[in-house]
Amino acid sequence: MALLDPKVIHPITLPDGTVYRDTVYLKNVIDHPRMEIGDYSYYTHSGKPEDTASTLAPFLGHGVRERLVIGKFVQIARGSYFITSSANHPMEGFTTYPFRIFKPETFGYKDLPVKDTVVGHDVWIGQNAAIMPGVHIGSGAIVAAASVVTREVPPYAVVGGNPAGVIRMRYGDDVIAQLLQLAWWDWSLEKIEANLEALTTGDMGRLRDAAD
């Protein structure tokens, strides 16, 4: 039997057979026109599954212009969330007070610039992290708990702090380039599970052999 079932809402079953209901596969609980979510990406929170979108990205209304794009196999811990572009206040004048949101005909600040927020594949976002508008997080990156991510995160970087900075790179440039080229997250589930040992032990030789 496969370890992962892409169709379930709650992907974790504890050793005693109890389904752990705080963790949800995002793709199976979110139906939002401005969110794109890859397979097997999960989020842990204490709310109802139908509240997941508003908990994860509270300012991403259905009528906004920006998108939140989350790749495959992303792991998002409890308390983490995305502040998307529509949360911004105007900053060009002498006040940041959002006067125009108080009238329906001027609501939305459609003249303010917006940027999509993009999370790559196999990214781990630790507990209580905040991802700011327009940030791009590269595949394989790790965001430390309680970080505030304000700028682009390179693939396979470990970042932390407020504002988050690069603590270290997980691998050297050559290995990172190979991992991005292999893109194991695009393999079939059967192929991924057949090569879990290579993936989880960092055996590049076996991983390359599996890709051939």
Give the CA distances from residue 61 to residues 3, 25, 33, 84, 141, in Å, rounded to whole numbers and listed in that order: 35, 21, 9, 10, 27
What are the E-state strand segments in 19-87? 23-25, 35-37, 42-44, 68-70, 75-76, 81-82
Task: Determine how many CB atoms are found less than 10 A away from the CB of residue 154.
Answer: 15
Given the residues 45, 62, 89, 136, the one annotated as active site: 89
Rounded (10°) angle between helices 173-182 and 204-211: 30
Residues 6+ apart with CB under 8 A from 9: 24, 25, 28, 29, 49
> In this structure, what are the phi and psi dihedrals at residue 81, rounded to the nearest 5 degrees?
-160, 165
Task: Determine how many CB atoms are found less than 10 A away from the CB of residue 125.
Answer: 26
* 32 annotated active-site: no
Cis peptide bond N-terminal to 49, omega within 30: no
> In this structure, what are the phi and psi dihedrals at residue 136, rounded to the nearest 5 degrees?
-115, 125
* Catalytic residue set: 89
